[in-house]
């Protein structure tokens, strides 16, 4: 089963952020960790590499197919892997069961209770939790360019993109520290960008009925919006920032 974000997108956009999250959390060998709303397991893979063969990664998502597909990739790091399927009513993570719990840019695909509450509940007293979202004041240009082009050319506000760019309904309560993550997203030309952003994501299904000429115009509009990030050889180098909400150990929790 293909991840929501797609493997090409995960490689270009999510993997570098996942590595930063693992560093920020201080994931140690032998730890028990959780990738919350794991999608394709990009964060779980980074966590698995950090905990090693003495550690355990729990993958949680609302889609059973996704967690099963992600499990294979995470297990390849050598760690032990378990999976749980969440519902809108609950995430079946036992209380205080993990040293580290984190979610990477997937809160828009979760419709239940606050992920902050879920993460805190599952984290041990001396552990850490992290929720990563796109910076609401500086949304990622690679997504915004496509969203704007679809609205301008086709009059479409794609549901998938709205979930990718969803803002938090509320900021977390005290005890969470905000950290800004910076990275540069690379695509080897507009063709690679289009393949990762449209062809390999569920967005392709939303656009299946659009005329080829309209989609070509959308692609051209994206290219214009990203011109300032395009090198002489056509490579796209797009600066992005994300917000990492970090909750450290809570004495007495």
- Domain range for 135 is 7-247
Contact 48, 81 (CB under 8 A): yes
Please give the DSSP secondary-structure letter assigned to residue 92: -
Residue 180 inside a domain? The answer is yes
Res 252 pLDDT > 50: no
pLDDT of residue 135: 87
pLDDT higher than 90, residue 69: yes
Task: Give the model's pLDDT for residue 249.
Answer: 62
pLDDT band at 151 (very low <50, low <70, confident <90, very high): very high
On whether residue 162 sits in a domain, the answer given is yes
Which 3 state secondary structure label does DSSP give 247? strand
* Residue spans of beta strands (DSSP E) within the chain: 32-36, 56-61, 80-85, 98-104, 123-134, 176-187, 236-247
Report yes or no on 80 lying in a domain.
yes
Reply yes or no on whether the pLDDT at 174 is more than 80: no
Question: Please, which residues bridge with residue 102 across strands?
Answer: 35, 130
Per-residue pLDDT tens for 7-59? 999 999 999 999 999 999 999 999 999 999 999 999 999 999 999 999 999 99
Q: Mean pLDDT across the stretch 170-179? A: 82
Digit-coded pLDDT (tens) for 76-113 = 999 999 999 998 778 899 999 999 999 999 999 998 88
pLDDT of residue 160: 96
21, part of any domain: yes
Average model confidence (pLDDT) for the chain?
94
Is residue 37 within 8 Å of residue 115, measured between CB atoms?
yes
pLDDT tier at 211 (50, 70, 90 boundaries)?
very high
Measured CA to CA in angstroms, residue 245 lies from 20, 71, 118, 168, 197 at distances of 13, 25, 14, 11, 26
What is the 3-state composition of the chain as percent helix, strand, coil, each rounded to the nearest 5? Answer: 40, 25, 35
Contacts of 253 (CB under 8 A, 6+ apart): 96, 120, 125
Which pLDDT belongs to residue 253? 42
Domain-located, residue 172: yes
- Is the pLDDT at 235 greater than 90, yes or no? yes
Segment 133-144, tens digit of pLDDT: 998 889 999 999
CATH number at residue 123: 3.40.50.150
In a domain, 44, yes or no: yes
Judged against a pLDDT cut of 50, whether residue 128 lies above it is answered with yes
Domain count, the chain: 1
Domain-located, residue 2: no
Question: Do the domain assignments include residue 102?
Answer: yes
pLDDT band at 66 (very low <50, low <70, confident <90, very high): very high
Q: What is the pLDDT of residue 171?
A: 73
């Amino acid at each position: 089963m293909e991840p929501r974000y797609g493997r090409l997108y995960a490689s270009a956009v999510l993997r570098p952020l996942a590595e930063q999250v693992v560093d920020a959390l201080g994931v140690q060998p032998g730890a028990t960790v959780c990738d919350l709303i794991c999608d394709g397991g990009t964060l779980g893979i980074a966590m698995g590499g950090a905990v090693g063969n003495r550690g355990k990664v729990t993958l949680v998502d609302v889609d059973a197919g996704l967690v099963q597909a992600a499990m294979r990739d995470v297990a390849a790091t050598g760690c032990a892997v378990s999976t749980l399927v969440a519902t809108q009513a609950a995430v079946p993570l036992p209380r205080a069961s993990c040293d580290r719990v984190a979610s990477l840019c997937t809160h828009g695909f979760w419709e239940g209770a606050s992920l902050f509450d879920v993460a805190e509940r599952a984290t041990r007293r001396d552990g850490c939790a992290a929720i990563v979202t796109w910076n609401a004041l500086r949304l990622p240009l690679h997504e915004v360019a496509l969203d704007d082009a679809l609205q301008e050319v086709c009059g479409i506000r794609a549901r998938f993109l709205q979930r990718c760019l969803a803002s938090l309904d509320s900021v977390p309560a005290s005890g969470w520290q905000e950290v800004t993550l910076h990275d540069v997203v690379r695509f080897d030309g507009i063709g690679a960008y289009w393949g990762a952003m449209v062809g390999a994501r569920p967005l392709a299904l939303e656009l299946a009925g659009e005329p080829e000429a309209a989609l070509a115009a959308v692609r051209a509009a994206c290219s214009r919006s990203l011109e300032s990030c395009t090198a002489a050889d056509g490579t796209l180098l797009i600066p992005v920032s994300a917000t990492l909400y970090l909750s450290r150990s809570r004495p007495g929790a």
